[in-house]
Amino acid sequence: AQKVTQAQTEISVVEKEDVTLDCVYETRDTTYYLFWYKQPPSGELVFLIRRNSFDEQNEISGRYSWNFQKSTSSFNFTITASQVVDSAVYFCACWAGSYQLTFGKGTKLSVIP
Amino acid sequence: DGGITQSPKYLFRKEGQNVTLSCEQNLNHDAMYWYRQDPGQGLRLIYYSQIVNDFQKGDIAEGYSVSREKKESFPLTVTSAQKNPTAFYLCASSRKAGDSADTQYFGPGTRLTVL
């Protein structure tokens, strides 16, 4: 069974600061996929990224970047120059050969203007 | 627009009543899922369906039932046997299920409150 740990329950930053959300996963499978989702106050989960275990390249998409390190079983998410619209709960999730995603408990990010 | 719709957005139920939450998708996805979210918690899988007329229990299926008579629809019934049904319910779909890690896309959710 997989396990996903998001140790940061809540984070507050001032607008334009950079912020990193941590995600540590556990799985015995060699093939697995990692995901990040954003849940704004409206409630709908918005897909951000999907990364497989064989691709350790970091990814950048605009102000978002992801750092995947198999050696530490981490898949951290950084928002550069944060904006108020980034305020949301962010979930990390892992899929490893079964029918379901295993989600972490989420990190609530508050960006203060 | 393609997407997943859930209705109603808010639902109030008296104790002892069954209620049905609607989930419809027009993405032509084979697989559909129901999750429950409690405050400060991640999502927990209730049921999933890989194909029409077939569905499997997730981690917390007790007190819930589903049907999959059409590819685009996957309604969830919260029965009176569910001891603590107040929660936020999210429906999702993906192109395939099973041994595929296809991305799951989510609907806007239904917030159920038991009075």
pLDDT of A7-66, one tens digit each?
999 999 999 999 999 999 999 988 899 999 999 999 999 999 999 998 888 888 899 999
More confident residue, B45 or A99: B45
Give CA separation, B27 vs A52, A60, B5, B20, B75, in Å.
23, 27, 11, 22, 16
What is the rounded average pLDDT for all residues in chain B?
A: 92
Q: Please provide the size of chain B in residues.
A: 115
% chain B with pLDDT above 90: 75
Report the residue of B10, B33, B104 to disrupt the A interface, i.e. the one with the largest count of A CBs within 10 Å: B104
Q: CB–CB of B106 and A44 under 8 A?
A: yes
Per-residue pLDDT for A81 more than 90?
yes
Cα–Cα distance, B103 to A32 (Å, whole number): 13
- pLDDT at res. A93: 95
Q: Which residues of chain B have a Cβ shorter than 8 Å from any chain A Cβ?
A: 33, 40-45, 48, 50, 56, 58-59, 88, 90, 92, 97-99, 101, 103-109, 111
Q: What's the whole-number mean pLDDT along residues A56-82? A: 93
Query: Tell me, what amino acid is at A75?
Result: F
Residue A98 pLDDT more than 80?
A: no
CA A13 to chain centre: 17
Compute the average pLDDT of residues B25-49. 93
Mean pLDDT score, B37-52: 91
Contact B42 A104 (CB under 8 A): yes
Q: What is the pLDDT of residue A5?
A: 97
Task: Report the pLDDT value the prediction gives residue B102, as an integer from 0 to 100.
Answer: 85
Q: For A5-32, give the DSSP string.
A: E---SEEEEETT--EEE--EEE-S-SS-
Residue B40 has what pLDDT? Answer: 81
pLDDT value of residue A1? 78
Strands (E) across B1-86 are located at 4-7, 10-13, 19-25, 31-37, 43-51, 54-57, 64-66, 76-78
Question: Measured between alpha carbons, how far is A84 from A38 in angstroms, rounded to an integer?
Answer: 14
* Model pLDDT, residue A58: 84
Residue-wise pLDDT for B46-92, tens only, equals: 999 999 999 999 999 999 999 999 999 999 999 988 888 999 999 99
All residues of chain B having their beta carbon less than 8 Å from the beta carbon of residue A3 are: none
The pLDDT, as a whole number, for residue B1 is 62
**CB-CB neighbors (< 8 A) of A47 in chain B:** 103-106
Mean pLDDT of chain A: 93
Please tell me the distance in Å from B18's CA to the nearest CA on chain A: 24
Looking at per-residue pLDDT, the higher value among A101 and B20 belongs to B20
Band (pLDDT 50/70/90 cuts) for residue B93 is: very high
